[in-house]
Amino acid sequence: MNKHELKSAIEAILFAWSDPLSAKDLSNVLDIEIKEVKQILKEMIDEFNYEHRGIQIIQMNNHYQMSTRPEHYEYLKKLFIPKQNRSLTQAALETLAIITYKQPITKTEVEQIRGVKCDRAVKTLLEKDLIEEKGRLEKTGRPILYGTTINFLKVFNIKSLQELPDIEDFNFSNDEDITKDIYDK
């Protein structure tokens, strides 16, 4: 297959799949090296951006997905009946921040940092596919370890966790010890 055919196939695959797809999976499907897949995807991303197409290819870690451009939101929302989409509570946001910066982490460790129970917040974050089970701790009770998902990267429009600001950059006016709690384990 020549490069033009590969680009066409990748576009069709990403469109049809609709969920994030890893470069490795694309490599397996197309029977080409991962390095070549990433290079072609980079070219496609640049072409879509240069041509100001209505769709774009977004990258989240080594996963790729087709998406509409945010600037067309106003047009698209007229076609869809909005869902009741509750935003995250303060407790859920705090829990998500702790999991994001400390992952993998157990619910008990999150509760020690927050100082309160977080069952409901964890349940909400799991339902919204912002966190997932990353494994279990090898100790009594085998507690679940939580971490963020590919959907987390998509929702917050970041390619990887390395794009997050350092925890020291935040201004904690009420509780200066939170930085110490998040780093101490």
Domains in the chain, CATH or no CATH each: 3-77 (1.10.10.10), 90-183 (1.10.10.10)
In angstroms, rounded to a whole number, what is the distance separating the alpha carbons of residues 160 and 146? 17
Size of the chain in residues: 185
Between helix 107-114 and helix 119-127 the angle, nearest 10°, is 120
pLDDT digits (tens, 9 = 90+) for 96-133: 999 999 999 999 999 999 999 999 999 999 999 999 99
pLDDT digits (tens, 9 = 90+) for 12-39: 999 999 899 999 999 999 999 999 999 9
Contacts of 99 (CB under 8 A, 6+ apart): 105, 110, 125, 131, 146, 147, 148
- How many angstroms from the chain centroid is the CA of residue 78? 26
Model's pTM, two decimal places?
0.63
Residue 181, pLDDT > 90, answer no
Closest C-alpha to 65, from 24, 96, 121, 21? 21
pLDDT digits (tens, 9 = 90+) for 45-88: 999 999 999 999 999 998 999 999 999 998 888 887 655 556 89
